[in-house]
Structure 1
Amino acid sequence: MREASKSIMRRLTDSRFATRYFVGEGIDIGSGPDPISFYAELFPLMREVRSWDLADGDAQYLEGVPDASFDFVHSSHCLEHMRDPLVALRNWLRVLKPGGHMVVLVPDEICTNRAFSPRRSTPITNVPSRCTRRRPGVPAR
Structure 2
Amino acid sequence: MIIGVGTDIFLMSRISDGSIQEGDAFWKRAYTAKEHQEAEKRIDKQVYYATRFCAKEAVYKAISVANIEFHPGEIEIFTDEMGKPHAFLHGRTKEAMERIAGKYTIHVSISYDTAYASSFAIAEKHK
Greater length-normalized contact order (CA 8 Å, ≥ 6 residues apart): 2
Higher Cα Rg, which structure: 1
TM-score, normalization: structure 1? 0.22
Structure with the largest fraction of strand: 2
